[in-house]
Amino acid sequence: MGNRRARFGITGATCALGMVAALLTGCGSDGGSSDGVTKLTFAASTFGDPGRGPQLTKWLDEFNSSQDKVQVSAAAVPYPTFGQTVLTQMGSGKGPDLVRFDMPEFEAASDAGLVAPLDKMIDAGKYDLLKQPDQFMVHDGVRHGFIFEASNYAMFYNADLIPTPPTTYEQFTSTAKSLTKGDVYGLAFRQTEAEEAGVWQDIFNYVYGFGGAWSDGKNLTINSAENLKGLQAYKDLYDANVIPRGADAATFRRMFAEGKVGMELNNGGYVTATRGQNAKLNFTVAPIPFPVRKQGAILAPIVINEASEGKDEAATFIKWALEPQNQVKLQEILGASSVATTTQRSAESLKATPFLPVFDGLTDTSLPQIVLGFEAKTPDIRKVVVQNVIAALQGKADLKSALDRAQQQATDLVR
């Protein structure tokens, strides 16, 4: 991408994560077993997903059945501790051979030199890669990963409560207000400091959806006029009491499944979870109805551990995963998410989930929830921004002053 990146060494990354005690066990290639088969470990939080995990394991078994010299086993690490657990072990020269990271951890690992450069092992030009998400896999001309899953944000809505979805922010607001009666709310989003990462994901859509950005690639732009406009829209909805204030994501998502919330902005991975809570819920999705068609995306790269003794064999797995038929199978498992390459949805999938093209159509305008140019510093910047935005919601400061303060604090952090 060529943008300025905050660099720190492997030692720094290890020290920063040294407080984490939990480590993966039994991970890493065996460097060549007695039967001539190289055994690798692939760590991903999604292997523990009750819905998608078993299907991903079967997909992995298909790879193993096709190989004589390499075998890959799944390692499920719980999502809340995944990033710190894997980064800590990688920082000490150990860890799994293959990792499915979320973007903040991917950025930290690549900045610290913990992931292997892939250009000499895998010819990316052989594949029809989705250009928009794939650009974030390359740092300063060096490829560090391939997209394993890309999940775009859209507007989920209860079709029984909202026969025609809003197409403008004004309609979005009026719909939320008209639905809010008794124990039913028109909208829901995160708005407490306890859910810092989730608040960041939610406000990202408002900032970019109103033409804003956290940076210009070189300098932070937290207090720009466009950001103020987008976050004012977020605050106006909070002030209008159209959301269940204080409810965490688990609570209001259950409420959505129960028909007590009309709309929510979320990513494609939420489709499976919603159906799991209420298979009969009549919901669908539409693009987020904000002035600018630009929204967040959950990007999950697959990488090779620099410390792995089986890098070439790990590359064999990634090349297998990128083959068209295996990409199609992976996408069917992931549901409303996209994969690394351009694929065609099956007639069966489209019949079961007619709104899949809505998510696919948003790929070119979706962005990962990182601060461009300051990727590895995103967690620190996120904390500052969320603290100040929450203070404005709670009336402790006006929003403009809060963003000015966040701009100064974050600038001091990245100097």
The H or E element containing residue 367 is: strand 366-368
Asked if residue 65 belongs to a domain, the reply is yes
∠ Cα 172 177 183 (to 5°): 125
pLDDT at 2: 39
Asked if residue 327 belongs to a domain, the reply is yes
Tokens found for residue 298:
């959950």
Asked if residue 284 belongs to a domain, the reply is yes
- Residues 47 and 136 reside in one and the same domain: yes
Phi, then psi, of 219 in degrees rounded to 5: -130, 150
- Residues 199 and 210 reside in one and the same domain: yes
- Residues 332 and 218 reside in one and the same domain: no
- Residues 38 and 99 reside in one and the same domain: yes
- Alpha carbon separation from 224 to 153, 273, 281, 375 (Å, rounded): 23, 36, 40, 19
Phi, then psi, of 8 in degrees rounded to 5: -150, 155
Q: Find out whether 96 and 27 touch, Cβ atoms under 8 Å.
A: yes
Number of Cβ within 10 Å of residue 21's Cβ equals 8
- Residues 248 and 385 reside in one and the same domain: yes
Residues β-bridged to residue 187: 263
Residues 6+ apart with CB under 8 A from 78: 45, 48
- Residues 351 and 374 reside in one and the same domain: no
Residues 6+ apart with CB under 8 A from 236: 173
- Residues 95 and 59 reside in one and the same domain: yes
Q: Tell me the HSE value of 107 on the side-chain side, using a 13 A CA sphere.
A: 22
- Residues 113 and 163 reside in one and the same domain: no
CA quadruple 81, 17, 192, 281: dihedral, nearest 10: -20
- Residues 176 and 222 reside in one and the same domain: yes
Asked if residue 5 belongs to a domain, the reply is no
The single residue listed with the structure tokens 């600038």 is 411
d(CA 162, CA 285): 11
Supply the range of the domain harboring residue 175.
153-296+370-414
- Residues 65 and 214 reside in one and the same domain: no
Asked if residue 4 belongs to a domain, the reply is no
- Residues 254 and 292 reside in one and the same domain: yes
pTM for this predicted structure: 0.84
Q: Find out whether 318 and 251 touch, Cβ atoms under 8 Å.
A: no
Asked if residue 2 belongs to a domain, the reply is no
Tokens found for residue 376:
């590895």
Number of domains, the chain? 2
- Residues 327 and 204 reside in one and the same domain: no
Q: What is the pLDDT along the chain (415 residues), one digit of tens a residue?
A: 433 333 333 333 333 333 233 335 444 555 555 578 999 999 999 898 877 889 999 999 999 999 999 999 999 888 778 888 999 999 999 999 999 998 988 998 999 999 999 999 999 999 999 999 999 999 999 999 999 999 999 999 999 999 999 999 999 999 999 999 999 999 999 999 988 988 999 999 999 999 999 999 999 999 999 999 999 999 999 999 999 999 999 999 999 999 999 999 999 988 988 998 999 999 999 999 999 999 999 999 999 999 999 999 999 999 999 999 999 999 999 989 999 999 999 999 999 999 999 999 999 999 999 999 999 899 899 999 999 999 999 999 999 999 999 999 999 999 8
Give the CATH number, domain containing residue 224.
3.40.190.10
Which one-letter DSSP state was computed for residue 26?
S
- Burial code (b: 16+ CB inside 10 Å, e: under 16) for 161-185 equals bbeebbeebeebbebbeebbeeebb
Based on DSSP, count helices (H) and strands (E) in the chain, helices before strands.
16, 11
Phi, then psi, of 226 in degrees rounded to 5: -70, -40
Beta strand 142-143 with 70-75: parallel, antiparallel or unpaired? unpaired
d(CA 411, CA 403): 12
CA quadruple 164, 166, 172, 177: dihedral, nearest 10: -20
Asked if residue 47 belongs to a domain, the reply is yes
Asked if residue 100 belongs to a domain, the reply is yes
Beta strand 70-75 with 366-368: parallel, antiparallel or unpaired? unpaired
